[in-house]
Amino acid sequence: MSFFQLSLIAAVGLLGPLLAFPRKWHLPMVLGQLLAGIAIGRTGLGLVDAADPTFTFVADVGFALIMFVAGTHVPVRDRAIRSALGSGALRAAIAALPAAAVGTLIAFVFGTGHAPLYIVLLASSSAALVLPIVDSLQLGGPKVLTTTAQVAVADIACIVALPLAVDPPNAARAAAGAAGVGACALLLFFVLRRLELSGARRRVHILSENRKYALELHIQLALLFALSGLAVAGHVSIMLAGFSFGLVVAAVGEPRRLAHQLFAVSDGFLGPVFFVWLGASLDLGALAGSPSMVLLGICLGLGTLLVHGSLRLAGQPLPLAVLAASQLGIPVAAAAIGSQRNLLQPGEAAALILGAIITIGAAAVAGSRAARTFAVPAVAGR
């Protein structure tokens, strides 16, 4: 990969903010970045090679950072969320039941043999997508809190389950690797928590801010990459390493300055590189030449809406149920892992992304509907 290609990747990544700019659309930036990658990759002009080792490695770094930032966005320290955690976890568990039935049926009908993967996809939610929509629309109230907790629980559970589901023959090895990553993340929590309580982290923060050293960013990235290396050595996706470390940082408490620095590194460069790479790696020509894969993507998208929409029977308002059905990280990770390991059929990775896009569109509509009932009026003077 040359600097000219890297410049092109950075430039086309701007399509993400352009599509996300109209607030009423409620579209995530990654949608435009995926489309940009499709335009310059295998499906489109062929200006970049997604198989290039340098491009792939930089994209992997971006993937680890994206999942880390997603983990930091889970409000584990919010007492209101914790109070709703029981109800949210129950709803996530209830949603897993129809997901098992619908996912098994879809795998049987299309003959892919990927029932475990489809079950995880159908049961998943995306905290990285839902939480910004809830914040931007100023949604509030007990039912919104329960939905937020449900999304967080489903996201965490499915991220842990995905490496096991995407490659069932190696599930035991992946489970051992995931346990190792989880144990190291737990150890990091206790170490960082101790440093926080002792005031050491605060002293480093003041020194870093006064001297312009960005020490916290350096330390966090070093730990993130070390945990990602452990995940690779343990044959586990780096998504688990990134997300688990993000949860650790969220539980300990993330300084605002560090959050701004991570936002700049992730959303400003490495994140768009990953999504452009993913779009460039997708072969939509295979999808277009296989009507069954197009139908598979539609069934996955509609099946996810059906699974989460069924919680209306358990008392969840339909707009919030559809909002909780929105997917992003899990389908993207499944497509990336499946493509890298050659575990998916031709066009299947693109079908997973198509299903996610359907849920994103439905979430945009559901968010607007939910705002009519659950929007919290702005307080005068704020």
pTM of the predicted structure, to 2 decimals = 0.75
User: What's the whole-number mean pLDDT along residues 92-121?
Assistant: 92
φ and ψ of 78, to 5 deg:
-75, 115
Angle at 284 between CA 23 and CA 268, to 5 degrees: 40
Looking at residue 382, what is its pLDDT? 40
- The answer on pLDDT for 341 being more than 50 is yes
pLDDT digits (tens, 9 = 90+) for 147-188: 888 888 888 788 888 878 887 777 778 788 888 888 999 999
Range of lowest pLDDT (189-193, 281-285, 330-334, 348-352): 281-285
Choice between 153 and 131, residue whose per-residue pLDDT is larger? 153
Mean pLDDT value across the chain: 83
Q: Can you give the pLDDT at residue 132?
A: 66
Contact by Cβ (8 Å): 69, 266: yes
Q: Indicate the angle between helix axes 256-265 and 53-72, nearest 10 degrees.
A: 150
Continuous H helices in the chain: 3-12, 15-20, 29-40, 53-72, 79-83, 85-110, 115-123, 127-137, 142-166, 171-198, 200-211, 215-233, 238-252, 256-265, 271-281, 284-288, 291-309, 318-324, 329-340, 348-374
Contact of 61 with 233, CB cutoff 8 Å: no
Looking at the DSSP bridge assignments, the partners of residue 139 are 375
For residue 125, what is the DSSP state? -
One-letter-per-residue 3-state SS of 300-317: HHHHHHHHHHHHHHHCCC
Q: How confident is the model at residue 80 (pLDDT cuts 50, 70, 90)?
A: low
Mean pLDDT of 132-160: 80
226 pLDDT band (50/70/90 cuts)? very high
* Contact assessment for residue 214 and residue 205, using Cβ atoms and an 8 Å cutoff: no
Mind listing the pLDDT tens digit for each residue in 23-43? 666 666 777 888 888 889 888
pLDDT band at 328 (very low <50, low <70, confident <90, very high): confident
Q: Is the distance from CB of 79 to CB of 141 less than 8 angstroms? A: no
Which one, of 276, 283, 280, lies nearest residue 346 by Cα?
283
Task: Of 11-15, 219-223, 364-368, give the lowest mean pLDDT range.
Answer: 364-368
What does the block give as tokens for 185?
């993340």
Q: Is the pLDDT of residue 136 over 70?
A: no
| % of residues, the chain, pLDDT over 90 | 16
Provide φ and ψ at 76, rounded to 5°.
-70, -20
* 97 confidence band (pLDDT: 50, 70, 90): very high
pLDDT of the residue at 336: 78
pLDDT one-digit tens code per residue, 204-213: 878 877 887 7
Most confident residue range from 19-23, 241-245, 261-265: 241-245
Between 115 and 374, the more confident residue is 115
Q: 96-105, 130-139, 371-380: lowest mean pLDDT where?
A: 371-380
What percent of the chain has a predicted confidence (pLDDT) above 70?
A: 95
Dist. CA 97–CA 349, nearest whole Å: 24
Q: Provide the β-strand partners of residue 375.
A: 139
